[in-house]
Structure 1
């Protein structure tokens, strides 16, 4: 990419000045993990999906079975993905004190695998499950 207008350079300098003067919290979503090979759900080429609501999941044993049968297939795929440069950069910014923490919509765990410690996983994670009946 050629930055003839200097837009990217100016943005990078502004970000560097901001980080030098204070610490920040970072909010991330699916776009960060696409460079790791994990597709997002909203891009133009993404298959159309109708997410199951919590009410549907909690209210129907059949829907839970359907959800978990699909999740069991998808869950195994996440082992093959690795943190990318963005995840690693955020971990380094946390270590250096420029980032105080990360809130992410992602369930892939890549922030933690990159070394970030203060991560809030807003939509949960795929490391464990809990039975609703036990």
Structure 2
């Protein structure tokens, strides 16, 4: 049965990490302990080792992309498995496939600034350390 590979928390309190490099290509067989990808955080470069054997069926996050810890980054197929509904697998897990990275000629979309909230009146709770 196909399983999602998730971005691991490679350093304490890290909220994001990036795929530096995929060591395995789609369709290649993975054995327990094989390096699947190199994960980069602000402080470290760590190898993501396979916890079970199978075939790397689909890469969901391209090398160089940063995603939240716990986000799906790939799909591991069981040996002999090929027709997997990846969208259904992601929906079952409550996740969405990462949007493709912007093309080199395109500028990344920057969200519009959020309007400031009106000031609330009343007591402000603060300590001298604040």
Q: Same fold (TM over 0.5)?
A: no
Q: TM-score, normalised on structure 1?
A: 0.25
Structure with the higher fraction of residues in helix conformation: 1
Is the strand fraction higher in 1 or 2? 2
**TM-score of the pair, normalised by structure 2:** 0.26
